[in-house]
């Protein structure tokens, strides 16, 4: 932001939009939910594999 934008806020935000929130939340990545979904997907694939093996043999 240059000096003119700091002196005249309407120039840097002509449409009057509210300021954007910071991207990424607090900055710490949270992989817990993704990890649970990944584990459940792998377990489902294993169950389908064993089930189809038992059914077709």
pTM, two decimal places? 0.49
The count of domains in the chain is 1
35 assigned to some structural domain: yes
Per-residue pLDDT tens for 7-17? 555 566 777 78
Domain that holds residue 38: 31-57
Paired tokens of 29:
């990545």
1 assigned to some structural domain: no
15 assigned to some structural domain: no
| pLDDT for residue 29 | 66
20 assigned to some structural domain: no
18 assigned to some structural domain: no
Question: Is pLDDT above 80 for 18?
Answer: yes
43 assigned to some structural domain: yes
In the block, tokens 């584990």 appear at: 39
Give the pLDDT band (50/70/90) at residue 26.
low
């Amino acid at each position: 932001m240059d000096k003119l934008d700091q002196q005249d806020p309407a120039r840097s935000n002509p449409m009057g939009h509210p300021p954007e929130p910071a991207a990424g939340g607090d900055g710490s990545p949270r992989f817990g939910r993704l990890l649970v979904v990944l584990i459940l997907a792998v377990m489902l694939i294993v169950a389908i594999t064993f089930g189809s093996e038992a059914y077709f043999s």
